[in-house]
Amino acid sequence: MEETDTKTESATAPLESAIVEALRKIFDPEIPVNIYELGLIYDIALQDGGKVAIKMTLTAPGCPAAQELPQQVKEQAESVAGVTSADVEVVWDPAWNPGMMSEAAKLQLGFL
């Protein structure tokens, strides 16, 4: 059984990597860092038939881009070959904080 899980993971890894690369093209309008490096993408779940479910958050509930960013995430994910549809859910738990940023984002923003 474990062998099958490994094969499934290795088969989906390129698709997930392509989705991540697509999401790295989306930038928070107030912070000059892409949303993936900011830590706004919490989960990318690949499902049967090329469907993907993405859980993301925003830097704050009152974020001016609250309507735009989830739509951009959906469009970018669906632009990836092999993805038939994307469902994007905005979640608030856990609340985003600067500690969720990648090292590269922290460096770029002067946190390191």
CATH number at residue 43: 3.30.300.130
Report residue 13 as tokens: 């890894």
Cite the beta strand spans of 1-112 per DSSP E. Answer: 41-46, 51-56, 85-90
Question: Which residues of the chain fall below pLDDT 50?
Answer: 1-8
Q: Domain of 71?
A: 2-108
Q: What is the pLDDT of residue 112?
A: 75
Q: How many separate domains does the chain show?
A: 1
Residue 72 and residue 78 in contact, taking contact as beta carbons nearer than 8 Å:
no
Q: What is the pLDDT of residue 5?
A: 42
